[in-house]
Amino acid sequence: MADKVFTVLDLLELELPEHSQLHLKCIGGRTSLANVISVSEINRPGLALTGFYDSFANGCVQLFGSAEGAYLKKLYAENNIQSLTQMFQYGIPCLIFVKMLEPPKEFIKLAESSGCAVLQTELELTEFTMRLSRVFANVFAPKKTLHGVLVEVYGIGILLTGHSGVGKSECALELVERGHRLVADDIVEIRSVNGNSILGQGANTLISHHMEIRGLGIINIAQMYGVGSIREQKEIQLVIRLEEWDNSKVYDRVGNNLESVDMLGVKVPTIEIPVKPGRNLPIIIEAAAMNERLKARGYNSARDFNQNILKWIETGEVQNAYYGMDDSY
């Protein structure tokens, strides 16, 4: 379910890239554009037009293709509109006609009197269905906001977390300086897509590519480093927790402890990097990104290291090395 109410008017006013444009326009029922679209499914009301309403998905957007359009005209030609009158009694948010199909004027009047908006698109049925499904997958995806910085490093989406003042923004600024890209600073909105991946973007797209650097103030990354230094959204593939170095804490030195964090029901790998003067965090994060890419290709450095150690032990060379050590020092 979406975090806020999503209406038919919101659907009409969506700002989408050209390859995702829905090309919708309202051809009837403008007073009903405030109708709420509450579910992400799309329904083709073929059975409903014949008068069968068991399990009718009335809360969905109703999509009319060539078959539905032809049958609709047949019903009006035969003056048999009882099923249509019954359909609108279920409370439909909106109807959409594809391929610029023109419904009968009587049908538009019936929809308007029933409080249903009528929309039209120039797209073919299959193409429009795919685009609308992608839009709904985004609109109705579970969402939440997090405090952190999201960057893209070597193609890997990395979310930097940690308490305020630990150096997340400064680290991200150095990564941008080294040719990587900023997605969002400070407040990151995440959403689950298809239940198996997490996309992140700025909670406020107008200020998401601005960065606060203590002692310097607010800077605009896109203006300073060019549009190639930013991107609008990115899948989060790794979470890095930055924390102040704690001498009493034992940190992972091999990489065998594979941890993950639950983000909206999706497990995302996470590592912890201690921060202290002299550590070059940007280089460490670059190495973490490249290591994550290797893991995606099936290679695990820590596992390979352990296997090599075991082979070394099995060959007996470790005993020779141990007994051959010079104890004079």
Residue among 74, 147, 214, 311 flagged as catalytic: 147
pLDDT tens readout for residues 238-287: 999 999 887 777 777 666 677 899 999 999 999 999 988 878 999 999 99
Residue among 180, 186, 210, 241 flagged as catalytic: 186
CA distance 170 to 186: 12
Q: Which residues are bridge partners to 27 per DSSP?
A: none
CATH code 1.10.10.10 for 8-139? no
For residue 293, indicate whether it is catalytic.
no
Model pLDDT, residue 196: 87
CA distance 114 to 82: 14
Region 143-304: CATH code: 3.40.50.300
Residue among 143, 168, 209, 234 flagged as catalytic: 168
For residue 168, indicate whether it is catalytic.
yes
> Mean pLDDT score of the chain, rounded to an integer?
88
Residue 266: HSE in the Cβ half-sphere, 13 Å Cα cutoff: 21
- pTM exceeding the 0.85 threshold for the entire prediction: no
Model pLDDT, residue 309: 65
Is residue 12 within 8 Å of 24, Cβ to Cβ? yes
Model pLDDT, residue 320: 61
Tokens 């004027």 sit at which residue? 105
Q: Is 47 exposed, middle or buried (0-12, 13-18, 19+ CB in 10 A)?
A: middle
Q: Which of 190, 192, 194, 178 shows the shortest CA–CA distance to 229?
A: 178
Mapped onto helix, strand or coil, the DSSP state of residue 313 is helix
The CA-atom distances, in angstroms, between 251 and each of 22, 254, 274 are 51, 9, 8
Residue among 19, 253, 276, 297 flagged as catalytic: 253
CA distance 322 to 325: 6
CA 194 to chain centre: 9
Spell out the per-residue pLDDT of the chain, length 329, in tens.
445 789 999 999 998 888 999 999 999 999 999 999 999 999 999 999 998 988 899 999 999 999 999 999 999 999 999 999 999 999 999 999 999 999 999 999 999 999 999 999 999 999 999 999 999 988 888 889 999 999 999 999 999 999 988 889 999 999 999 999 999 998 999 999 878 899 999 988 778 899 988 888 899 999 999 999 999 999 999 999 999 887 777 777 666 677 899 999 999 999 999 988 878 999 999 999 999 888 888 877 767 766 776 676 667 665 565 555 555 55
For residue 147, indicate whether it is catalytic.
yes
Q: Show me where the domains of the chain are located.
A: 8-139, 143-304
The CA-atom distances, in angstroms, between 17 and each of 8, 23, 141, 201, 210 are 19, 11, 19, 16, 22
